[in-house]
Amino acid sequence: ELPIAITGVASGIGAATAALLSGAGATLIGIDRTVPAAFSGTFVQADLSTPGGARAAAAKVAAAAPQGLGGLANIAGVPGTAPWRTVLGVNVFGLRELTRALAPTLAEGAAVVNLASSVAFQWRGLAEACARFSLAEDMEAALDSVSGDEHATGESYLFSKQCVRFLTERLSAELLPRRIRVNSVSPGPVQTPILEDFKNDHGRDKVEGAAQLLGRFGEPEDIARVVAFLLSDAAAWVNGSDLRVDGGLTAYRTTGAL
């Protein structure tokens, strides 16, 4: 079995995905800016907030996978409480650059899974702006170009995750000729360290109200199982899709009150 690369393995959903896959016998290459307390596999320390950092990480991952990679899970992400350039740098460009740099290493039949968010569903109207931003060749210029855009900077996390949904479809199209699948997962609120930042960013009452409605927050394992499914051959015909994993929150908020 070829190794699977996972970003964000030092915490939350990335750590849970690594534990699940390694428990099932997978060989892993983990990537994070923080050294994980527990991780079994090859670990690559890298800062994915810059294209240079993402490409350096890709080179180390490729060196650790001489036979090629069986999958890539882009799970690392930062909340909207971080500076907007960092949010867009990690969540959008870090993900894109790492995936493109690793594309030659991904074997035919491999799968990529990106972490978007259920909040991205509120942003259908921004598809065009996200497409333009996500595809920009010059990332510094792209960041400068949205510096006056209230959506991109004031609600950078939501913008970044809409971009992830766009990039998932786009990368799926780019990698289709190589028979590499690319899908995304859109979680609702999940009990991880990032949740406290979400409460500060989106409003404590809104986030806690979601858990009240659903009976609980999501657990990292709720998401890890779906990431593992999308990486596996059980999802062989799932490509370019987003799978919402939010306990029913979005459906309820969109239609429950009708």
Q: Cα angle vertex 136, ends 11, 7, to 5°?
A: 15
Q: Closest separation between CB of residue 60 and ligand NAI, Å?
A: 13
HSE-up (13 A, CA, CB side) for residue 34: 13
Q: Show contacts with ligand NAI in window 158-197 (CB under 6 A).
A: 187, 189-190, 192-195
Q: Which residues of 92-117 are buried (b: 16+ CB within 10 A; e: fewer)?
A: bbbbbbbbbbbbebbeeebbbbbbbb
Which of 90, 98, 112, 152: binder of ligand NAI (CB under 6 A)? 90
Q: Closest separation between CB of residue 165 and ligand NAI, Å?
A: 12
200 binds ligand NAI (CB under 6 A): no
Q: Which stretch binds ligand NAI (CB under 6 A): 45-53, 142-150, 167-175, 176-184?
A: 45-53
Which of 93, 157, 166, 198 is flagged as catalytic?
A: 157
Pairwise CA distance, residues 182 & 166, whole Å:
11
Which of 4, 5, 6, 10: binder of ligand NAI (CB under 6 A)? 10
Kindly report the number of other CB atoms within 10 A of residue 141's CB atom: 9
Which of 12, 51, 71, 80: binder of ligand NAI (CB under 6 A)? 12
| 157 in catalytic set | yes
Please name which of 178, 41, 33 lies closest in space to residue 104, comparing C-alpha atoms. 178
Binding mask 111-140 for ligand NAI (x = CB under 6 A): ----x-x-----------------------
13 binds ligand NAI (CB under 6 A): yes
- How many contiguous H segments (helices) and E segments (strands) does the chain have? 12, 7
Burial class (CB in 10 A: 0-12, 13-18, 19+), 120: buried
**Residues tagged active-site:** 157
Give residues in contact with ligand NAI (CB under 6 A): 8, 10-14, 32-34, 46-49, 75-78, 90, 115, 117, 187, 189-190, 192-195, 198
